[in-house]
Chains A and B, each alone.
Chain A
């Protein structure tokens, strides 16, 4: 049965309101980025004003945006590749050879996400220091990999569960080993799932701020650390902070919107049976 026109209109309006409420902070950040510091603090807030690039210039001048952006790209892609390389065989084993403890193992992995990051700051900080990896991109890649690993394993596991086990079983009957099964069968069959897992991992890593601020100094900080530079205890900084935030989120927003179709498809994959 098709929903009536009036209910479609009501749901449509509600969806638009929800979307606008969620989008409003980003819109306001974008508007503020084109104001001067004086306009940014105006009461009542200004909606119509001559736009200026002053804050963008201030945010990029001497602030090393390019270095932070390169770090963000290297860390998010590096950690994603590493996480998938580790999670792929793990999810394969968990999905196709379930044992008594499979469910427990999966829950245990996810439970590590429930621990507040600051709780392990000291051991990880000291570990990185001893390994000479403080303020290096390798150190941050390692941390982000570990941080995203439980989610990546879970997502790949749920995608693999959608693939009929008989296909792999037939391959095993023909004498094909686990490595070839993974590379020649599982990899092509779960392509969309791996792509959406990778996209989510890149986004999570890109937005990660706690570790990026706490284990880097002048060389390996990502764009999250770049934004943090613009919050000041004194003086006016709202316009510059907004411009810096726009510059930091713009690449991932563009990336996210370009891959939106695949991301949504991957996230809802297997949701309806």
Chain B
């Protein structure tokens, strides 16, 4: 019997020891994007300079959002720095979940950050996060296919032109589809693109009284155009294709055009990952009725949750990771084309970067002209180009995304899907107390 007691005692001892105390460090919650991985690789430099050790918690985007929300809402203090996007910042700042970014030193040069990005990360004029890298949306196209078809892609294409070009270069027999667009349902997947399409068709999610406007002519025109274009000239089973799948399709030479995030440029122009690295062109995202909201703005950023007990150290890290010095360090270490894009004006004045990134000027133009505070033709009460910065939008956006995916899959008509989308959105907004 004694032997059993000893075994049990030993096991308990091991269990207790495994949960033992640990050294004070910063815990950073982040996503597994290539730029974030670079940050992890360069972080020993920060530890060397400050003596502050770093622990990383890397999670898929939606899990991260849920995990961090739970942590901040319960004031658990598991994370000292969190990775947030332009969607969360206004919502979390309103809930007093984030520390404002005040008292930044002059050497940080906050005015060097693109004004549109600063605006996107502010709430009531106060900055709540520092941008790590930013993106917009553009049109990618195959220069070789366009040349062969005798078409010249204008710098500022219209959706009418895009439909014409898609018809001309569509050649499924040779495995080339006229255009690839996101079809995978989700507020951050198909809806991110469709929101920009609806915006440029003159539509909006809500009027100034928070009444949904999904049954408007603008939504109907935009969704009808999207479904027809993708059905006629898109790859089969498009409802399975999100950003990653389309990136794979385009880089393997299967798409004539693709309207999506500027972050794809690095992969598409790299011969190691792209078969069409020498035949890619980039122009503005297309426009239909209005240029307003035709391309999005997103900035992966770092913020300090209110629940942390290490604000001062966390702020030191934020300043380091989003500084000009960090961008130069990343450029020198990984090559200038790998520098986190879209955050600082000085990056786009750097001759090394401009030489390495042929798409730099286009990206700068797209980011500078995207305005999350004025995203639609008619006035709206919300912030956000490809999202609506309210907590309910994750649910609403995904539900509407599923309705539109059902249309693309041929299970529903555009009218039926938008009618359903309108009523479910109205119900959610009523339940949330907007009217």
Chain A residues packing against B (C-beta within 8 Å): 36-38, 41-43, 62-63, 74, 78, 81, 85, 121-122, 125-126, 129, 133-139, 141, 183, 213-214, 217-221, 228-237
Contact = CB atoms under 8 A, between A and B. Distances in A.
A135 B33 CA distance: 24
B325 to A, nearest CB: 22
Given A126-B74, A233-B31, A43 B254 contact: yes
B34 A42 contact: no
A206 to B, nearest CB: 16
A228 B59 contact: yes
Interface string B252-278: 101000000101000100001110000
Nearest to B41: A62
Given A137-B18, A218-B56, 19 more contacts: A36-B272, A38-B272, A41-B248, A43-B249, A121-B70, A125-B76, A183-B4, A217-B29, A218-B27, A219-B55, A228-B58, A231-B32, A232-B33, A232-B60, A233-B33, A234-B261, A235-B267, A236-B244, A236-B267
B72 to A, nearest CB: 12
A85 B7 CA distance: 12
B76 A43 contact: no
B188 interface: yes
Contacts of A139: 19
A125 B273 CA distance: 42
Contact of A219 (B22, B67, B249): B22
Contact of B188 (A41, A221, A233): A233
A138 B22 contact: no
A74 B18 contact: yes
10 contacts: A38-B274, A41-B251, A125-B76, A135-B78, A213-B63, A213-B67, A233-B61, A234-B243, A234-B263, A237-B32
B149 interface: no
B11 A78 contact: yes
Interface in B31-52: 31-34, 40-41
B8 interface: yes
A233 B16 contact: no
A236 B247 contact: yes
Given A62-B41, A85-B8, A233-B61, A138 B74 contact: no
B173 interface: no
A234 B34 contact: yes
Contact of B74 (A129, A133, A230): A129
Nearest to B245: A41
Interface string B11-26: 1001110110010000
Contacts of B267: 235-236
Contacts of A183: 1, 4
Interface residues of B, number: 50
A125 B72 CA distance: 12
A213 B67 CA distance: 8
Contacts of A74: 14-15, 18
Contacts of B74: 125-126, 129
Contact of B18 (A38, A125, A138, A232): A138
A179 B252 CA distance: 68
A228 B66 CA distance: 14
Given A41-B252, A129-B74, A214-B70, A234 B40 contact: no
Nearest to A137: B18
A218 B243 CA distance: 29
Contact of B27 (A78, A138, A217): A217
B126 interface: no
Contacts of B261: 234
A237 B37 CA distance: 12
A188 to B, nearest CB: 14
A218 B19 contact: no
A81 B10 CA distance: 12
B57 interface: yes
Contacts of B15: 74, 78, 137-138, 141
- Which of B1, B19, B267, B274 has the largest number of chain A CB atoms within 10 A? B19
B79 interface: yes
Given A125-B70, A134-B78, A135-B78, A213 B33 contact: no
